Amino acid sequence: MSLDDRKLEVLRAIVEDYVETQEPVGSKSLVERHALGVSPATVRNDMAVLEEEGYIRQPHTSAGRVPTDAGYRLFVDRLSKVKPLTPAERRAIERFLIGAVDLDDVVHRTVRLLAQLTRQVAVVQYPSLARSSVRHLELVPISTTRLMLVMIADTGRVEQRLVELPEPVPADDVTDLRRRVNEKLAGQRLADTPPLVQGLVDDCSPGHRATMACLASVLLETLVERSEERLALAGTANLTRGGVLDFQGTLRPVLEALEEEVILLKLIGDLEPSKTRVRIGDENQIDNLRSASVVSTGYGPGATIVGGLGVLGPTRMDYPGTIATVRAVARYVGDLLAQN
């Protein structure tokens, strides 16, 4: 059955009122609060159709109705218009992020900002090494047989490793090693570096091959084999703001899911440029999050996506405002990475 415009307007009013009041919505209050241009009896009939079609439900024996996951999905897809941020909100985002001093600061400012603006749980993925390129490799002598390898990615991410050398290496040779690895690897995508690292060993003189082989082993671990991704989380306490109908009355499954980084990466990873993904209730593939909604997007310099960010909260969410905020923050973070 195709819903006519009037029933869609009734659904929009129900969603907006329930998100704002946390109370089931009745036909009388809809007529009083919204200029629907019809009688309470007509609204009741429309609500009966919406309930029959599965877009709203009656949580208990009262006249009020609340949206279902299908109702929220229809609202997001057809009824909601993304709220433009006010100039004051845009300035606040810019001022908050512009003072960041390094990548860690950018990520932690971003996750706190998202949690504050949306009043939901915020998750930000550090720029993924799998999507990064090498900006510079530094070799810092700790002793004649030990080096500190520092890899700086184009996204600002920094990785450090100790290199135990098989024999003492003079300072001039360390300088030569630094030059060789940067000539070979600087500017290359991390995923493309394994054959280049092997080339460093093959091209090395026999007298330095053992040293280069040790360095190459640590380079591969740093550039390629490091599989874990890092995340920042903020605003978990926001989950307690809701009513008794949020999260089906218990927060425990949601809190358990938030403790698993693999789950969080699935929520905000693998996003296409300029795409905002909204998963509502049962659309989440993770059982513990069937009572939650997730709004997420990718971020990065220009059209390049290096990580994901988003928010998680109850299905009773201000979707237009949340989508606008997530998009705006992602855009500002991408601009910061492009500048730096």
Per-residue pLDDT of 155-190, as tens digits, reads: 888 888 999 999 999 989 999 999 999 999 999 988
- Paired sense of beta strands 146-153 and 158-164, if any: antiparallel
Residue-wise burial string across 29-57, b where 16 or more C-beta atoms lie within 10 A, e elsewhere: bbbeebebeeeeeebbebbeebeebebbe
* 262 has pLDDT over 50: yes
Two structure tokens written together for 338: 């492009």
Q: At what angle do helices 103-118 and 319-339 cross, to 10 degrees?
A: 170
**Contact predicate 317/241, CB 8 Å:** no
pLDDT (average), residues 124-152: 90
pLDDT (average), residues 302-312: 89
Question: 10 Å Cβ neighbour count for 130?
Answer: 13
pLDDT at 1: 44
* 99 has pLDDT over 90: no
pLDDT at 272: 66
Nearest to 274 by CA among 298, 296, 295, 294: 298
54: left (phi over 0), alpha (psi -120 to 50) or beta: left
Two structure tokens written together for 318: 């201000």
Q: pLDDT band at 220, cuts 50/70/90? A: confident
**Contact predicate 271/279, CB 8 Å:** no
- Paired sense of beta strands 121-125 and 307-314, if any: antiparallel
